[in-house]
Amino acid sequence: MRRGYAALGLLALIWGASFLFIKLAVRDMSPATLVLSRAAAGALTLALILAARRQTPFPAGTRARLLPFLVMALFGSLLPWFGIGFGELSISSALASILNATTPLWTAVFAYWVTPAERPSGLNYVGVAIGFLGTGILIAPDLIGQPLRATTIGTLAVAGAAASYAVAALVQRRRLRGVSPLQVGFWQLALATPLALAAALPTIGATHLQSALIAAIMVLGVGGSGIAYLLYYFMMNTLGGTRATTVTFLLPVTAVFWGASLLHEAITIPILAGMAVILLGVFLTSRPRKPRAPALSEDRGVA
């Protein structure tokens, strides 16, 4: 159990730091090229892990799952990574991480239609409303007077990335339940790589390779997409699904810490207020639905 919580803390630090390295990477490469580099490095890392475990990347049923894997590549990697990379051209890594924490809120909204049997409770939707209120607190300063300024567009891009992650989560829930996360991760990144290549071709030549950029790509690909999958898989086995997903609550905190300490990003009152409100909303949204009370037996009747 202690190892499970140690893995949770390490994963929060890795994924929280990802926003910082995205911020560093987009200074010298386009968001599309960053997506390509991250997907390729992550796919290679997971392929090596599969080989080390002597597991085949083509288990039974792979062909039937190619369409869900492709959807995961689009909504779980290509679109959100591009949205976050594009957003961090104009907003801080700390703000991007906080907006990314709205993913459970989007998931609850979409689940109403996609998974009717698992619809959130009334309290969960109160959490959704509170969470989006926190998002409004973050966006409001940029909307006043200049609604089309770069920071507003960047904020909306990262919010859209969070919504994309929610779509991927529901697809995995509906179509890939029970499939090894290692297999899902490998195919998600393997299919995302050629798609990212097509999008990145016009901008690859503008990349300025240097040691800091290479380090950022390695951290994002190997760490954020490779080792992170192993940690998450280990947490699922030791802590269970519910406890493992609490890493979402820690990402804004660790990302704000990394951004402030290494990039000297300003932590403003609206950012702190928005983070607190969003985390409250995410907490309420994640509360388990209470089981329904058993129906009255026929011999008791109804008053």
pLDDT of residue 185: 87
Mean pLDDT (whole number) for 81-99: 90
Name the 3-class secondary structure at 275. helix
Q: Of 71, 78, 93, 90, which Cα lies nearest the Cα of 15? A: 93
Confidence class of residue 246 from pLDDT cuts 50, 70 and 90?
low
Q: Of 275, 273, 269, which Cα lies nearest the Cα of 256? A: 275
Question: Could you tell me the pTM of the whole model?
Answer: 0.82
pLDDT of residue 5: 79
Q: Please count the CA atoms within 13 angstroms of the CA of 85 that sit on its side-chain side.
A: 25
Mean pLDDT (whole number) for 113-136: 79
DSSP H helical segments within 205-246, as ranges? 211-218, 228-238, 241-244
- Of residues 301 and 83, the one with the higher pLDDT is 83
Q: Tokens standing for 35? A: 């997506």
